[in-house]
Amino acid sequence: MNSITQDKSDFIRDIINSDLLEGKNDGRVKTRFPPEPNGYLHIGHAKAICINFGLALDYKGTCNLRFDDTNPVKEEFEYVDSIKQDIKWLGFDWQDREFYASDYFERLYELAVALIKKGKAYVCDLSADEIRQYRGTLTNPGKDSPYRNRDAEENIRLFEGMRNGDYPDGSKVLRAKIDMASPNLNMRDPVMYRILRATHHRTGDKWCIYPTYDWAHGQSDSIEKITHSICTLEFQDHRPLYDWFIEQLDIHHPQQIEFARLNLTYTVMSKRMLLELVEKKIVSGWDDPRMPTLSGMRRRGYTPQAIKNFCQEIGIAKADSTVDMAFLEHFIREDLNRNAPRVMAVLNPLKVIIDNYPEGCPEELDAINNPEDPAAGRRKVPFSKILYIEKDDFMENPPDKFYRLAPGREVRLRYAYFIKCESAIKDSKGNITELHCTYDPATKGGDAPDGRKVKSTIHWVSASHAIAGEARLYDKLFAVENPAKVQSGADFKDNINPSSLNIADNCMLEPSLAAAKPGDIFQFERLGYFCADPDSRAGKPVFNRTATLKDEWTRLKGKIK
């Protein structure tokens, strides 16, 4: 018996708690996550995964992974593998409960025959277009198919013929016999099987009839003895059909519960659209760091913990809403601020020569790995006569509010010394190519003994020790909040942000970054969080900018009612 005391509270848990109190399902809680293997998982799926696996964990139940592979045309092993990898990465475990709707094709066929025998299903010869016409509309009732009153014996013979390949694709379907006048269109004799000669990724050419989602899903839940079948709101109107099939067959009855799907600003969550971005090479693949896919987010440097914290915080609602992308990024920053070690890297290098620093005798300065995490310890950073600083940390004619380096001005180099800019050297075109500075040895690692102040601290790397790298700086993939919403004739791709990727290909990185492995995440001081990319090569690391340091959410929050 499960305990009903839970520290989390939402309407799904309320339902489960009351089921447990009533002693339903012998006190079991069993959920499932049912992806269709026709694309990679995205952040919306992460919400469904956290709900289903989270309930199983909280109630000491189990959660099955079930591939809803009833459409042979769009499904592939590549997707199955990526889905498993992404769920594991999030930190959830289906143990040995990896199932496929296609495992049940034989059983589903038997159940369909049982329904026919009860006079509750029939073979219909109307074409897809005719079925649509006969179905009626929300305001007009549908019309009975002329094939509706075939007797059970004839229906069984025809259904067997469908299975045996006696009829061409699309020439017949099996339909449930419910009510063509039902106010719910889903109940107007919905299709259960169609004839389709297509090779299935698991069953090959064994079948030429395939079950529809509505028929396969509930029966698969029932076969697996699922107790609570949690799905998104668009299935609310399918629930009466879900219940009808199970009641007619008198089999185990899971309860379908609907929740609101997650929508995020500045992105799309439809697998059809995501696939189009991949196929048209608008992004580099499903795992492009700008994609809302879990593989894209992993490559970008988003952590499983941050994604889970986000899913926990948005909660489970019954009404659709759109969550601000900045809210997700807030959780990424919160996690990385605590956990990502800090290093120094210069994205747009400007050479600085410290004229009064001795030549050929670099020193090692003491740096803190993460002030938020004392356990992260310290490291040594090499300092020498020639350094790189960020180009935009210097201005020849600074405006009032610019406090960084300028001619005659002094700043602190992080973990090092105060330096003062003596002169700027220019090339023939007037571009500044290097700065000559002096340093004050008395300011090593801290303040000036005479109490003089500087107004800013900037980051740097030692030129002779630096390693060259590439940084990929990402912005939103779409330029508008709701890219999927377009006027007729327009296309969601028209909303792509043309500058969602900028590459800084001549970065100078502190030498400790030579040891970074793909997936390692750092804070580049003052610049943002960066994750080492699998494209990194020996001697040329590549980093994806996970997020800048500025938390937009804190600013937006004030404006949200």
Residue 164 CA to residue 195 CA, distance in Å, equals 10
- CA–CA separation, 513 vs 531, rounded Å? 11
CB of 528 to ligand ATP, least distance (A): 27
CB 330 to ligand ATP: min, Å: 19
Residue type, 480: V
Cα–Cα distance measured from residue 68 to residue 35, given in angstroms and rounded to the nearest whole number = 6
CB of 290 to ligand ATP, least distance (A): 18
Say what the alpha-carbon torsion angle 87, 88, 93, 96 is, to the nearest 10 degrees.
100
Question: Would you state the structure tokens that stand for residue 294, as one six-digit string?
Answer: 């879990």
Separation in Å, CA 111 to CA 118, 167, 215, 247, 280: 11, 22, 10, 12, 42
Q: Which is nearer to ligand ATP, 40 or 134 (CB)?
A: 40
* DSSP 3-state of 523: strand
Q: At closest approach, how far in Å is the CB of 193 from ligand ATP?
A: 20
**Smallest distance from ligand ATP to CB 169, Å:** 22
The yes-or-no answer on residue 36 being catalytic is yes
Residue 42 CB, nearest approach to ligand ATP (Å): 7
Among residues 47, 271, 342, 545, the one annotated as catalytic is 271
Q: From the CB of 54, what's the least distance to ligand ATP, in Å?
A: 13
Report how far residue 496's alpha carbon sits from residue 282's, in angstroms, rounded to the nearest whole number. Answer: 9
In the beta sheet, which residues pair with residue 410?
Answer: 420
Beta pairing partners, 432? 426
Q: State the catalytic residue, choosing from 135, 143, 261, 351.
A: 261
DSSP secondary structure, 315-342, as one string? ---SS-EEE-HHHHHHHHHHHHHHHSPE
In the bound state with ligand ATP, the residue whose beta carbon lies nearer, of 45 and 200, is: 45
**478: which DSSP letter?**
B
Smaller CB separation from ligand ATP, 274 or 346? 274
CB closer to ligand ATP, 239 vs 271: 271
Residue 261 is a catalytic residue: yes
Site residues, ligand ATP (CB under 6 A):
34-36, 44-45, 47-48, 68, 231-232, 261-262, 269-271
Give me the residue whose beta carbon is nearest to ligand ATP. 44
Cβ–Cβ under 8 Å, residues 159 and 172? no
Residues 339, 343, 348, CA angle at the centre, nearest 5°?
130
Of 208 and 268, which has the nearer Cβ to ligand ATP? 268
User: Which residues face 300 on adjacent strands?
Assistant: none
Nearer to ligand ATP, 39 or 349 (CB): 39
Tell me the C-alpha to C-alpha distance, in Å, between residue 338 and each of 13, 169, 295, 333, 453.
31, 58, 23, 8, 29
Q: How far is the CB of 281 from ligand ATP (least distance, A)?
A: 21
Nearer to ligand ATP, 262 or 458 (CB): 262
List the structure tokens of 35. 């992806």
Spot the catalytic one: 13, 24, 36, 363: 36
Contact (Cβ atoms closer than 8 angstroms) between residue 354 and residue 421: no
- How many Cα atoms occupy the beta-carbon half-sphere of 309 within 13 Å? 15
**Of 345, 350, 327, whose CA–CA distance to 396 is shortest?**
350
Nearest approach, Cβ of residue 538 and ligand ATP (Å): 39
Comparing CB distances to ligand ATP, the nearer of 44 and 483 is 44
Closest CB 62 distance from ligand ATP, rounded Å: 17
Decide whether 135 or 261 has the Cβ nearer to ligand ATP: 261
Of 223 and 274, which CB lies nearer to ligand ATP in the complex structure? Answer: 274
429 is catalytic: no
Which is it for strands 410-413 and 457-458: parallel, antiparallel or unpaired? parallel
The answer to whether residues 406 and 474 touch, using CB atoms and an 8 Å cutoff, is no
**Residue type for position 300:** R
Output the CA torsion 413→414→417→420 (10° steps). Answer: 20
Whole-angstrom CA distances from 477 to 250, 296, 349, 497 are: 49, 12, 27, 5
**Residue whose token pair is 């600083």:** 389
Closest CA to 110 of 202, 21, 215: 215
Q: If phi over 0 gives left and psi between -120 and 50 gives alpha, with beta otherwise, what is residue 88?
A: alpha
Residue 215: both structure tokens together? 């028929």
Return the active site residues: 36, 261, 271
